[in-house]
Amino acid sequence: MKTLFFKLRYLIVCSMVLGLLITVSCEKEETPIESIESVDTVNDIQEKRFSTPDDPDFRPPRIPQPPQFDAVCVVRLAYLSYLRRCPENQSVVNGWVSVLLTRGFDDLAAGFITSHEANVKWNSQYHSFLSRNHLTSHQVDKQVYIAYRGLLLREPDVNGGIGWTHNLRQFGIKFVANGIANSQEFANRLANIATECTNAANQCTY
C-alpha cells in the first residue's frame, strides 16, 4: 500500500514538474515573437519616414554685403549727372542721403529722373535725339532718356531706349533705374567712382 502511495505521489510530482517545464518553454518561445513584431513595426516606421523627401532649407543664401559707399558722393553725382549742377545746400544733401540710406538707390534715382527740373533740363536734347533717330515719344519715353543720361552719362541707343520704355510702362521707373544700374556699363562706371567722387568734391561746396 505504501509502495502504491509513493508511486502515485511520484507520478503527481513528475506531472507537475513536466507541466511547469512546458509552461516555461512556451513563454520563452513567445518572447522572441513579440520582439520580432516590435522590430518589424519600427522598421515600417523608419521606411515610411525616410521614403519622404528631405525638409526644404528656407535659409537665405549667404550673399556678401555690398561694398561701402560714400552717400554724400552719390547724392553729389546724382545732382551733377541728372541736373547738371551742384546741390544748393547741406540740407538738401542730407535729405537725399536719408532717401538713399532708408529707401535705396532706385528710389533716389527715380526721384531725380521724375523731377520737374530734370524734365526741363533735358527737354531740348531729348527732342533732338528723337528727331535724329526718327523716333516718337511713345517709342522712347523722356524718363528713359533721363535715366540713361543720369546713370550711364550718355543718350540711349535706339534698341535700348525702346526696350526700357516698354519696361517703364509695364513695371515703372524704379524697375528701369534698378535694371540700368545692374548693367555692366554702370558697373564699369562704378569701377571709377572714386575719381568721380574726388572731382565732385572739388567742384561742389555741398
Contact between 155 and 148 under an 8 Å Cβ cutoff? The reply is yes
- Domain annotation covers residue 140: yes
Query: What pLDDT does 9 receive?
Result: 53
Query: What pLDDT does 16 receive?
Result: 56
- Domain annotation covers residue 44: no
**Whole-prediction pTM:** 0.68
Query: What pLDDT does 15 receive?
Result: 56
Query: What pLDDT does 14 receive?
Result: 54
Query: What pLDDT does 69 receive?
Result: 74
* Residue found by looking up cell 528631405 in the block: 54
Number of domains making up the chain: 1
- Domain annotation covers residue 197: yes
pLDDT, tens digit, 9 for 90 and up, residues 41-76: 444 444 444 333 344 343 444 433 444 679 999 999
Domain that holds residue 146: 73-203
- Domain annotation covers residue 131: yes
Cα separation, 184 vs 196, whole angstroms:
18
Cell numbers that stand for 47 in this block = 521606411
Low-confidence stretches of the chain (pLDDT < 50) are: 2, 4-6, 8, 20-21, 24, 26-67
Neighbours of 23 (CB within 10 A): 10
CATH code of residue 143: 1.10.3130
Task: Identify the H or E element spanning 69.
Answer: none
- Domain annotation covers residue 6: no
3-state secondary structure labels for all residues of 163-185: HHHHHHHHHCHHHHHHHHHCCHH
